[in-house]
A and B are shown apart, each in its own frame.
Chain A
Amino acid sequence: MSTTGERSTGTVYEQVQASPEFADLRRRLRRFVFPMSVAFLAWYLAYVLLASYAPGFMAIKVLGNINIGLIIGLLQFVSTFAITTIYVRYANKHLDPAAEKIRQQIEGAE
């Protein structure tokens, strides 16, 4: 089992943590995941509140027997799949290269 870096003094990590490259990586991650988490939780909560407090609205039929509740429910599936795909693209493009670069710096320094 590899223990690379496990027993390091922490100074390497503190130096990296203080570097502008790392600050940039952290900002890119947080700038994406925090607003996105707020957005999907709010969208989900809106759905749960509608189902709880407005069942009559959810029961309005739109297409044959397909009602608003079913459509919003299925849209939760669509938004989940969409956010997943968008995040993977974002991470591949904006997170992975920067993380990889810093990782190699740290592991090469030891």
Chain B
Amino acid sequence: MNMDIAQAPAPPAATAVGDVGLNIGIFLAFVAVTLVFVYRASRTNKTASDYYAAGRAFTGPQNGVAIAGDYLSAASFLGIAGAIALNGYDGFLYSIGFLVAWLVALLLVAELLRNTGKFTMGDVLAFRMRQRPVRAAAATSTLVVSFFYLLAQMAGAGGLIALLLQIPTSNRVGQGAVIAIVGILMIVYVLVGGMKGTTYVQIIKAVLLIIGAAVMTVWVLGIAGFNLSALLGDAAAASPKGDAVLAPGLQYTNPIDLVSLGLALVLGTAGLPHILMRFYTVPSSKEARRSVVWAIWLIGLFYLFTLVLGYGAAALLPPGTITSATQNNAAPLLAYQLGGEVLLGIISAVAFATILAVVAGLTITASASFAHDVYASVIKRGQASPDAEVRVARITALVIGVVAIIGGIIANGQNIAFLVALAFAVAASANLPTILYSLFWKKFNTTGALFSIYGGLAICIILIVFSPAVSGKPVNAATGRSASMLQGVDFHWFPLDNPGLVSIPASFLLGVIGTYIGGRRPVEEGKFAEMEVRSLTGAGSEKAIAH
């Protein structure tokens, strides 16, 4: 099995718990139920508005639950619970950034975007700009962010497969085969069900995930006599790091790195294309607001649960169970400790469903952006028929699904919370400045948008490539491996793991510089008036279609 576990002092057979047949049965039940919904959704999946935006017919609360389903990814559930179990307080920092970030979406982005756009982020960014260059830029950054996010989800699959099906991570072929099956299933969801089917999958998954986490949280608190202080004391006593797990500083020893990460987390959410696209599935900006409110409450509650689950795993699991190699499995292992094979089966099936649902949401977003922004606007110059556009979107979804499978097999085993943090950094650098400028700054123009998107994207990617996250971290004597992504090479010169602290302000600045460079063209007063009035009042916004 796993090297770290084999060397642990009291080796619990941590990856050989549970009943494979039961695990598969529970997961197949989830697949069967969701497929019924996806099939039903397919009957009203005809027009572009159906495929991309579910006919804009979901209510605010429904969409809020779906957003929670989309947002509470494998990184949130497995990654954060694992990080808290291993490093204590520093894992909690992620969840706070992920939650507070929603206020940016609520106050500054969600409603205005819903009123202005149609299907994609590019609709809003290009509204009063020159269509082709800005849409091409918006599609590029959408594809890059979605790809990073997608890799992060697929990377978490390996450890789960080891736990759920008892195929060890060393068996690359077996794991690859399972990842391929998951990818194919996801493609079926997207192609058959479109946005409506995908949304149902998100809703079902979010409900299961939140209930599962709530049950485990109450269970853990019950064991601790409903005394949070006692639970924290038990966790500190059981951890080899002692009281240090209760305070910040274990995972992030460089304070500037932590500030950089915090900035990327809080500004990333409102620039995530697959989150933005969800606001188009409701009929009005008021419903978009209700969606965010529901999402904030559900996501906030869930992160409070993960705090208890993380410390609970540290306190209740046998010493040595949670290592850097097994941290992503802290929540499922805790489920086994509490409720045996049945709870393990349910929780790991839910975790698996999480990966499936989030990847489906990312795929539909990336395919919509390619078909709507690149194919229809850039290639066909706005002359494509909606049917042709949806056909291109479906083919793109198929291609992205295949890329996801291959990427997932390659990324298998990388730290998921870290990969997601990079996706957030790219979203905050490439997307958010342009979104805010085009909504609120009259003089902002095409050159400014291109500078900000491409500049933010390029700076962010370059700094990641030359960061210690990719190469050059010291080799851990115990495992013989460096904590960097690549082993045995060192070409890093940028000191921070997360580029946010540099790339986000740079992108905001580039938007201003580009705007002044391109400022000799007169501002399109009429287009700006239309955008501002539409965004604030909802006049002329896309309506729901009734089936």
Question: Taking the nearest CB of chain B, how far is it from the CB of A107, in angstroms?
Answer: 6
Once A8-B540, A80-B100 are accepted as A-B contacts, the answer to whether A44 and B107 lie under 8 Å apart by CB is: no
Q: How far is the CA of A17 from the CA of B527 in the complex (A)?
A: 11
Which stretch in B250-258, B407-415, B474-482 binds the other chain? B250-258
B296 contacts A80, CB within 8 Å?
A: yes
Nearest CB in chain B to that of A21: its residue: B537
> CB-CB contacts of B262-283 with A at 8 A, as 1s and 0s?
1100100000000000000000
A76 contacts B100, CB within 8 Å?
A: yes
A99 contacts which chain B residues (CB < 8 A)? Answer: 536-538
Once A55-B247, A77-B304, A81-B300 are accepted as A-B contacts, the answer to whether A64 and B540 lie under 8 Å apart by CB is: no
Q: Which of A9, A48, A56 has the most CB of B within 10 A?
A: A48
Chain A interface SS verdict (over half): helix
Q: Which of A40, A51, A63, A99 has the most CB of B within 10 A?
A: A51
B539 contacts A66, CB within 8 Å?
A: no
CB of B259 closer than 8 Å to a CB of A: yes
Nearest CB in chain B to that of A45: its residue: B262
Task: Pick the residue among B92, B96, B229, B537 that contacts A103 (CB under 8 A).
Answer: B537
Nearest CB in chain B to that of A37: its residue: B107
A48 contacts B233, CB within 8 Å?
A: no
A14 contacts B525, CB within 8 Å?
A: yes
B99 contacts A91, CB within 8 Å?
A: no
Q: Please give the number of chain A residues whose Cβ is less than 8 angstroms from any Cβ of chain B in the complex.
A: 59
A20 contacts which chain B residues (CB < 8 A)? Answer: none
Task: Pick the residue among A56, A70, A91, A100 that contacts B289 (CB under 8 A).
Answer: A91
Once A26-B532, A81-B297, A81-B300 are accepted as A-B contacts, the answer to whether A2 and B96 lie under 8 Å apart by CB is: no
CB of B93 closer than 8 Å to a CB of A: yes
Q: How far is the CA of A10 from the CA of B259 in the complex (A)?
A: 44
Enumerate A16-67 residues with CB–CB distance to B below 8 Å. 16-17, 22, 25-26, 29, 32-33, 36-37, 40-41, 44-45, 47-49, 51-53, 55-56, 58-59, 63-67
Once A2-B543, A4-B543 are accepted as A-B contacts, the answer to whether A69 and B248 lie under 8 Å apart by CB is: yes
Once A1-B545, A69-B247 are accepted as A-B contacts, the answer to whether A106 and B540 lie under 8 Å apart by CB is: yes
Q: How far is the CA of A70 from the CA of B311 in the complex (A)?
A: 12
A77 contacts B99, CB within 8 Å?
A: yes
B104 contacts A37, CB within 8 Å?
A: yes
Q: How far is the CA of A26 from the CA of B532 in the complex (A)?
A: 9
Q: How far is the CA of A107 from the CA of B525 in the complex (A)?
A: 20
Q: How far is the CA of A55 from the CA of B532 in the complex (A)?
A: 45
Q: How far is the CA of A6 from the CA of B533 in the complex (A)?
A: 12
Task: Pick the residue among B248, B293, B540, B545 that contacts A51 (CB under 8 A).
Answer: B248
CB of B106 closer than 8 Å to a CB of A: yes
Once A87-B107, A106-B540 are accepted as A-B contacts, the answer to whether A63 and B258 lie under 8 Å apart by CB is: no
Task: Pick the residue among B97, B246, B255, B545 that contacts A59 (CB under 8 A).
Answer: B246
Once A6-B540, A40-B103 are accepted as A-B contacts, the answer to whether A13 and B533 lie under 8 Å apart by CB is: yes
Q: How far is the CA of A73 from the CA of B255 in the complex (A)?
A: 17
Task: Pick the residue among B232, B246, B266, B537 that contacts A106 (CB under 8 A).
Answer: B537
Nearest CB in chain A to that of B267: its residue: A41
Nearest CB in chain A to that of B111: its residue: A91
B540 contacts which chain A residues (CB < 8 A)? Answer: 4-6, 8, 106-107
Once A5-B539, A14-B525, A52-B258 are accepted as A-B contacts, the answer to whether A84 and B106 lie under 8 Å apart by CB is: yes
Q: How far is the CA of A48 from the CA of B92 in the complex (A)?
A: 11
Once A45-B262, A51-B248, A73-B96 are accepted as A-B contacts, the answer to whether A36 and B532 lie under 8 Å apart by CB is: no
A63 contacts which chain B residues (CB < 8 A)? Answer: 229
B259 contacts which chain A residues (CB < 8 A)? Answer: 48-49, 52
Q: How far is the CA of A88 from the CA of B294 in the complex (A)?
A: 11
Enumerate A85-110 residues with CB–CB distance to B below 8 Å. 87-88, 91, 96, 99-100, 102-103, 106-107
Question: Taking the nearest CB of chain B, how far is it from the CB of A28, in angstroms?
Answer: 10
Q: How far is the CA of A74 from the CA of B540 in the complex (A)?
A: 41
Q: How far is the CA of A6 from the CA of B537 in the complex (A)?
A: 14
B545 contacts which chain A residues (CB < 8 A)? Answer: 1
Question: Taking the nearest CB of chain A, how far is it from the CB of B69, in angstroms?
Answer: 19
Question: Taking the nearest CB of chain B, how far is it from the CB of A108, in angstroms?
Answer: 10
A6 contacts which chain B residues (CB < 8 A)? Answer: 540
A37 contacts B103, CB within 8 Å?
A: yes
Nearest CB in chain B to that of A76: its residue: B96
Once A13-B526, A81-B300, A84-B296 are accepted as A-B contacts, the answer to whether A51 and B258 lie under 8 Å apart by CB is: yes
CB of B236 closer than 8 Å to a CB of A: yes
Task: Pick the residue among A44, A45, A66, A96 that contacts B286 (CB under 8 A).
Answer: A96
CB of B320 closer than 8 Å to a CB of A: no
A10 contacts B530, CB within 8 Å?
A: yes
B108 contacts A33, CB within 8 Å?
A: yes
Task: Pick the residue among A5, A32, A48, A96 that contacts B93 (CB under 8 A).
Answer: A48
A88 contacts which chain B residues (CB < 8 A)? Answer: 289, 293
B89 contacts A69, CB within 8 Å?
A: yes
Q: How far is the CA of A55 from the CA of B297 in the complex (A)?
A: 28
Q: How far is the CA of A89 from the CA of B530 in the complex (A)?
A: 27
> CB-CB contacts of B82-120 with A at 8 A, as 1s and 0s?
000000010011001101101110111000000000000
B303 contacts A77, CB within 8 Å?
A: yes
Once A10-B530, A17-B533 are accepted as A-B contacts, the answer to whether A51 and B106 lie under 8 Å apart by CB is: no
Contacts from B to A (Cβ < 8 Å): 47-49, 89, 92-93, 96-97, 99-100, 102-104, 106-108, 227-230, 232-233, 236, 243, 246-249, 252, 255-256, 258-259, 262-263, 266, 286, 289, 292-293, 296-297, 300, 303-304, 525-527, 529-530, 532-534, 536-540, 542-543, 545
CB pairs A–B below 8 angstroms (6 shown): A48-B259, A49-B259, A66-B229, A77-B99, A83-B103, A99-B536
7 A-B pairs besides A65-B230, A77-B99 with CB distance below 8 A are: A8-B530, A16-B533, A16-B537, A32-B107, A58-B89, A65-B246, A107-B539
Among all A-B residue pairs, the 8 with the closest Cβ atoms = A5-B540, A64-B229, A10-B526, A59-B247, A52-B255, A48-B262, A65-B232, A55-B249
